Amino acid sequence: MTKADLKALVRTIPDYPRPGIMFRDITTLLGNAKGLSACVDQLAAPYRESAVDAVAGIEARGFILGGAVADRLGCGFVPIRKQGKLPGKTIGQDYELEYGAGVIEIHTDAIAHGARVLLVDDLIATGGTAAAAVKLLRKLDAEIVGAAFVIDLPDLKGRSRVEAMGVECYTLIEFEGD
């Protein structure tokens, strides 16, 4: 499945969740068997020889893709969740994203000291969410192998923001604009 095929499976919903946002809805891609499989294969491919110890996925769409990528890489999955959702002892980090702000959290015992972690989410826009996830993982002394996303919105420059933190980003498709 080519990048153009994957792109054609993403549905765009204008003015969601608020006016002016072009929401890139991946539920249509996830619902397509070939699309889902190709997407997970392509996200995992660059990291097959990277000795990844864990995939960390960001709530909620990063869970679907991150869990599948972890399975492909033969490692475990660690959830990074919105505040108040994880039952154990957590640490948190404030973040701002394209259309809001909040706090994300991770279990303090989720990552072994020095573990090699791959970060996965569906989309990078301003990079605020991914940057916060990088900070959280580093608070737990993770070694971040990279950050993989299905969609990049290059006009919002999130990729360069995260790469400026020393984390290489890998994305499958791009949409112009925001």
Asked if residue 125 binds ligand AMP (CB under 6 A), the reply is yes
Asked if residue 159 binds ligand AMP (CB under 6 A), the reply is no
DSSP character at residue 147? E
- How far is it, in rounded angstroms, from Cα 148 to Cα 42? 10
Q: Which of 6, 40, 58, 120 binds ligand AMP (CB under 6 A)?
A: 58
Interface positions, 92-111, toward ligand AMP (CB under 6 A): 97-98
Residue 22 Cβ vs ligand AMP, minimum distance, rounded to whole Å: 6
- Based on CB atoms, which residue is closest to ligand AMP, 51 or 60? 60
Q: Which of 86, 128, 136, 142 binds ligand AMP (CB under 6 A)?
A: 128
Q: Which of 42, 93, 129, 171 binds ligand AMP (CB under 6 A)?
A: 129
Question: Is 61 labeled as catalytic in the residue annotation?
Answer: yes
Which residues are CB-contacts of 135 (< 8 A; sequence separation ≥ 6)?
93
User: Interface mask (CB under 6 A) for ligand AMP, residues 9-28, using x and -?
Assistant: ------------xxxx----
Give yes or no for a contact between 123 and 149, defined as CB atoms under 8 angstroms apart.
yes
For β-strands 116-124 and 100-107, DSSP reports them as unpaired
Cβ burial, residue 68 (10 Å; 0-12/13-18/19+): buried
Q: Which of 35, 126, 144, 146 binds ligand AMP (CB under 6 A)?
A: 126
Q: Beta partners for 106?
A: 91
- How far is it, in rounded angstroms, from Cα 33 to Cα 11? 16
- How far is it, in rounded angstroms, from Cα 84 to Cα 140? 19
Question: Is 11 labeled as catalytic in the residue annotation?
Answer: no
Residue 163 Cβ vs ligand AMP, minimum distance, rounded to whole Å: 13
Q: Please provide residue 74's backbone torsions phi and psi, each rounded to the nearest 5 degrees.
A: 70, 35
Contact positions toward ligand AMP, by CB under 6 A? 21-24, 58, 61, 97-98, 121-130, 158
- Catalytic center residues: 61, 98
